[in-house]
Every structure is written in C-alpha cells, then in structure tokens.
Amino acid sequence: MKEEFYISLVGEAFDGYTEALFNDSYIYIKHISIRDQRYLHKYYEKYKELALSRGLELEKDRISYVLEEEIWDAESDLKIASLEKEVENLKISVKHLNLRSQREQLEKTIFERSQELYKLKSDRSEVIGQTAEDYATSRSSDEILRFLIFKNKELTEHLYSEEEFGELETWEILKLTQLQNDITERISDDNLQKAVLRPFFSMYLSLCEDCGSFYRKPITELTIYQLRVTLFGRMFHNIFQYTEDIPDDYRQDPEKLIAYSSSKNQSSSSTGIRDDASGSVLFGATKEDVEDVGGLQGVSLAEEAKKHGGQLDMTQMMRLAGHDV
C-alpha cells in the first residue's frame, strides 16, 4: 500500500475517530476506549435483563432443555466444548512458532476447526431458538452503534437521540454498521504494525515507551487503536535495539522482523553450539522459512539420510545441529 495510506491510518488512530460520509453529510465515528467498554457492557446487560423479563431463556437453560428432551444430542454438545478448547489452544501455540511454514500449517488447522465449530454452533442455535443473549447482542449492537456516532469531531454531540435512531430505516442501520466494519478492517493489527514500521514513524518509536506521555492523556481515555500504536511501536523499537544484523528488507515487514528476532533470541540462549558453527539448523525448514529467520541453515533430514545409507545415527544428528560430539 502507498505511504499515504499508512500516514492516514496513524493520523486516524491519533484523532481517536474516523470521519465518514453518510447521507451527504460528514459524521464522526468514535474509536472505543477502555472506559467506553464499561458502557458497552452495560448496554448488553440492560437488554439481557429485558429479554428475561419478556420470557426468553438463557442459552444454558435452553441447551439443558433440548438435551433433556433429546432434541439435541450430548455428543454434539461435547464436540462443541472440545473444539472450543482446541481452537483456543491452537491460537496460543501459533504465536510461539517461528517458522512460517509451521505457522501456515497450524493456521490452516485453526481455520478448519473453526469452520467445524461454527457449523455445529449454527446447528445448535437453530434447535434452541432465540435466547436472551441473542436478543441482548442484537439490541446492544444497535445501541453501541448510536453511542459511537457523533455530529462533530469534538465528539460532544451524538448524531441521533435514542428516539431518532429507532426511527431509522433498515438500510440506514446496515449502512452505518458497514461503516463501522470498514473501520475495524482498515485499522487492523496487521496494518498498524506495518504503519509503525514505515519511515515516517521512525522518529516516534523511541517515544512509545510511555503511552500517557505520548498522547498527553490518561491511559483510561486512550482508544484501543491508540494503545496498539504505542504497543507495536515499543515492541519494534526493542527489536531494533536488541537484535543485531537485521536485514534491510526485513525492517518494514512485521512478520519477518518478529520471526528473525525470535530466532536470534533462541540462538543466543541455546548452549552446546560450536563457536565455529555456521549457524543454527532448522530441520524441515522451507526456503521461505530460512529467509524469514535471517538465512540460518535449513536441513532436509531425508536428503541427509540418503548421504549416509538411508539413516542417521545420533552422532550424525548432533553434528548436523552444530554440536561437538
């Protein structure tokens, strides 16, 4: 993307709002802060209580009912719980993988498990019907949308009152929702990481250590995007400070930069490697993996085994890894 896009992205995060055109007029969509999240939760609880007062049941009660009546089977319910835990653990694991090929393989597995989980949950939702949580999510989403939209960039006057918002046409609600979704997609973690690595932001990196001082605001008033800008800035500043010999073409690529830094840290903390070893070995690494971690040696165990009659003993494995034996 062009440099102007990343400059605009950071400027948008700094402002704390996004300016958008709606019904031939400019409106201002506030970015959520930590303090705002408290109010968002209150909206959800408000509508959940309203739903319960009108006779809707909690999801857990509906699930218990359909299981007791054998409308939904216990095996499928256990499968949902198992998949939820598996996806959660896989997402934690993928963060600790340095090789791109390993991350891509695990991300593929996460996608497949998530699709299976989504299908099972959708099937269960059809069986149990609308719950108090469903109603609360739907109604609070509209309330939150109204809460975030303002007439002015000072964010002091809401565009709609509760009554006015309730009279909007369906297409207008959908258009406002799409504007909000566009913001979330544009100001993604991936785009923010790329933005703080651009040359225009380099002078700010060392100033990201103190969020409050950086923005001259209490942390509780900072938006989520403002916090992420300084978080990523601090992270990459530390990488540049404490990681040696970073290739020039990695300095603006978050994925490669993080992988290279991780591989360097692991290499420096390992023991038993010969001083004259050419570098650490990445068994099974692809060409892309080797490039990502700074040109460390990639070894195909199959190819090495062929050189030694089809198998490798422990001594040969240790030497491949650069150990004295």
Per-residue pLDDT tens over the stretch 4-25:
999 999 999 999 999 999 999 9
> Which of 149, 173, 188 is the last residue before a domain boundary?
188
> Which of 188, 207, 223 is the last residue before a domain boundary?
188
HSE-CB for 3 with a 13 A CA cutoff: 5
User: Distance (Å, rounded) from C-alpha 10 to C-alpha 226?
Assistant: 9
Asked if residue 181 and residue 69 are part of one domain, the reply reads yes
Q: Find out whether 132 and 58 touch, Cβ atoms under 8 Å.
A: yes
Question: What pLDDT does residue 93 have?
Answer: 87
CA angle, residues 50, 53, 56, in degrees to nearest 5: 90
User: Distance (Å, rounded) from C-alpha 155 to C-alpha 15?
Assistant: 11
Tell whether 193 is covered by a domain. no
Q: Is 174 helix (H, G, I), strand (E, B) or coil?
A: helix
Q: Which domain holds residue 263?
A: 254-320
Question: What pLDDT does residue 90 have?
Answer: 92
Q: Which residues make Cβ contacts (< 8 Å) with residue 265, sequence separation at least 6?
A: 243
Tell whether 5 is covered by a domain. no
User: Distance (Å, rounded) from C-alpha 204 to C-alpha 286?
Assistant: 35
Asked if residue 35 and residue 155 are part of one domain, the reply reads yes
Q: Is 34 helix (H, G, I), strand (E, B) or coil?
A: helix
Asked if residue 166 and residue 291 are part of one domain, the reply reads no
| pLDDT one-digit tens code per residue, 29-69 | 999 998 888 888 888 999 999 999 999 999 999 999 999 99
Tell whether 161 is covered by a domain. yes
Asked if residue 172 and residue 27 are part of one domain, the reply reads yes
**Mean pLDDT of successive 10-residue stretches along the chain, which has 325 residues:** 91 96 94 86 92 96 94 94 95 78 88 96 94 92 91 95 90 93 95 96 92 89 95 95 90 89 68 48 59 56 58 58 55
Question: What pLDDT does residue 104 have?
Answer: 86
Asked if residue 270 and residue 178 are part of one domain, the reply reads no
Asked if residue 156 and residue 276 are part of one domain, the reply reads no
Question: What pLDDT does residue 273 have?
Answer: 45
Nearest to 268 by CA among 245, 298, 301: 245
For the chain, what is the domain count? 2
Count of positions (residues) in the chain: 325
Tell whether 218 is covered by a domain. no
